[in-house]
Amino acid sequence: MKQTKKPFILGLGGTTNPASSTEQALAIALQSAADAGAETELFGSDRLLALPHYQSDPAGLGDTGKELVELVRRADGLLIASPGYHGTVSGLVKNAIDYIEETARDERVYLDGVPIGLIVTAYGWQAVGSTLAALRSIVHSLRGWPTPLGVGINASGGIFNDGICADAGVNEQLKLAAQQVMQRAETR
Ligand SMILES: Cc1cc2nc3c(=O)[nH]c(=O)nc-3n(C[C@H](O)[C@H](O)[C@H](O)COP(=O)(O)O)c2cc1C
């Protein structure tokens, strides 16, 4: 049945780099979701860095961890963006994903049925492919639905500056991934 409330799309990702191209790509996709009518929130580098290593103890989650778990519980869709580090998802992003374990006993277990758009940056295509495949496996194990399009970005040429992407093709793909998340989020 079609929702009357705005779908809530959570963006999760970034790196320790203050001008992170991963986070800039995520912000562009999230803006497309907002333009299409979503309520959005970006859980980016600053909050990823504030998360303690995940441990399965509510007392150990910390304020940022508790905030993340509540955002995930509310989300009708997610956009997740990771750099390719040594051919796979970065520890910073994976640590945040580990917090989703807190939802294992919820009525909606993990990300059951939730559409998830995936974005990967790397400095070579090999890591783009392997990191995207790793992220898809993670999402499947959390019962989420990776969107058909995963956005792979070779960021070695410095195409992101001040929140703007100079590559028209990449912009188009980020927009399309957001649209695919929105299509399914709106019918949940
Ligand atoms: C620890 C580390 C490992 C990396 N491993 C790879 C790699 O295996 N393949 C690759 O193409 N790029 C690799 N890179 C480059 C990152 O993918 C690149 O820094 C990232 O996409 C840039 O994202 P940012 O601008 O958001 O920081 C690595 C970078 C770091 C810091």
pLDDT tens digits for range 80-112: 999 999 999 999 999 999 999 999 999 999 999
Task: For the full predicted model, state whether its pTM sits above 0.85.
Answer: yes
User: Helices 168-185 and 21-35 meet at what angle, rounded to 10?
Assistant: 50
**Atom number in ligand 1 closest to CA 126:** 11
Whole-angstrom distance, CA of residue 24 vs CA of residue 116: 18
Provide the CATH number for the domain around residue 163.
3.40.50.360
Whether 91 is covered by a domain: the verdict is: yes
CA of 37 to the centre of ligand 1 (A): 33
Whether 87 is covered by a domain: the verdict is: yes
Confidence of residue 2 (pLDDT cuts 50, 70, 90): low
Whole-angstrom distance, CA of residue 184 vs CA of residue 116: 9
Whether 1 is covered by a domain: the verdict is: no
Q: Report, as an integer, the average pLDDT of 42-64.
A: 91
Whether 169 is covered by a domain: the verdict is: yes
Provide residues with CB under 6 Å of ligand 1. 15, 17, 20-22, 83-87, 121-124, 127, 155
Which pLDDT does position 140 carry in this prediction?
98
Q: Which domain covers residue 108, as residue numbers?
A: 8-185
* Minimum CA distance residue for ligand 1 atom 16: 122
CA 40, chain centre distance (Å): 12
- The angle at the Cα of 116, spanning 48 to 88, to the nearest 5 degrees, equals 55
Q: DSSP secondary structure string, 93-145?
A: HHHHHHGGGGGTTSSS-TTTT-EEEEEEEESSHHHHHHHHHHHHHHHHHTT-E
Whether 27 is covered by a domain: the verdict is: yes
Query: What is the tally of structural domains in the chain?
Result: 1
| End-to-end Cα separation, the chain, in angstroms | 7
Which residues, other chains included, contact 23 with Cβ-Cβ below 8 Å and sequence gap of 6+?
13, 14, 15, 42, 44, 45, 81
CA of 123 to the centre of ligand 1 (A): 6
Whether 3 is covered by a domain: the verdict is: no
Whether 78 is covered by a domain: the verdict is: yes
Enter the DSSP assignment of 53.
P
- pLDDT higher than 90, residue 45: yes
Q: Report, as an integer, the average pLDDT of 59-79.
A: 94
CA of 65 to the centre of ligand 1 (A): 25
